[in-house]
Amino acid sequence: MSPAYIFNAQLVLGYVAWLLCYRTYMHPRLQAMDAIDAHRAIATLHSFRFFGLVFMMPGVVGTHLPDSFATFAAQADLATGLLALLALLTVRMRPLFWVFVVAFNTVGAADLLLDYGHAIRANLPAMAGELGAAYAIPVLYVPLLMITHVAAFHRLVRRPGKKPAADVGLPAPG
């Protein structure tokens, strides 16, 4: 099998596995939380996005990892992580908290979508070995990040007090 096939298969399987995990364990818990706590939980996960700086770390990634992918991914991940940390630090200042929640989700989701575009243009799946130790990020971590961004946006646009139809009949967590 080609490296591109393996990489793409693992990426798709990462989404499938995380969607199953999210639906079974995370979604019911997040729905049981009030909006502040749910967004704090998501922000906590995204506050570790500083880890994306590894894409610029010589010796961790290969020397032929395209800069068009690596630099943007690293810097946008750092920006997202810092915005998520700011959301966590401003939770007691509600208006500012909500600004940072919207900001880290917007920057973070845009980052991931643009990273997919950069990866496709640079033919990253064919040279996935250049990711080195960072290979796990796109196939294991990125699907969870994207799923939680979608969940956060859904929660942000949902009317307060409205219970999603998918939650009807779910047992209460705990």
Residue 147: pLDDT over 90: yes
166 within some domain: no
58 within some domain: yes
Q: 163 vs 62, which has greater pLDDT? A: 62
Task: Confirm whether pTM is higher than 0.75.
Answer: yes
User: What pLDDT, in 10s, does the model give residues 53-105?
Assistant: 999 998 899 989 888 899 999 999 999 999 999 999 999 999 999 999 999 99
Distance CA 92, CA 90 (A): 5
Residue 33: pLDDT over 80: yes
12 within some domain: yes
25 within some domain: yes
User: What pLDDT, in 10s, does the model give residues 102-141?
Assistant: 999 999 999 999 999 999 999 999 999 999 999 999 999 9
pLDDT score at 67: 86
120 within some domain: yes
- 105 neighbors 86 (Cβ within 8 angstroms): no
164 within some domain: no
> What whole-number percentage of the chain has pLDDT above 90?
82
pLDDT score at 168: 41
Mean pLDDT (the chain) is: 91
Average pLDDT over residues 32-38: 96
In this predicted structure, which of 37-41, 53-57, 156-160, 168-172 has the lowest mean pLDDT?
168-172
Average pLDDT over residues 34-42: 97
Q: CA 143, 146, 151 angle in degrees (round to 5)? A: 125
Residue 161: pLDDT over 50: yes
Confidence of residue 165 (pLDDT cuts 50, 70, 90): very low
Domain that holds residue 61: 3-159
Task: Work out the number of other CB atoms within 10 angstroms of the CB of residue 137.
Answer: 19
77 within some domain: yes
Please count the structural domains in the chain.
1
170 within some domain: no
DSSP for residue 162: P
Using CA atoms, how far residue 28 sits from 7, 126, 167, 173, in Å, is: 31, 38, 7, 7
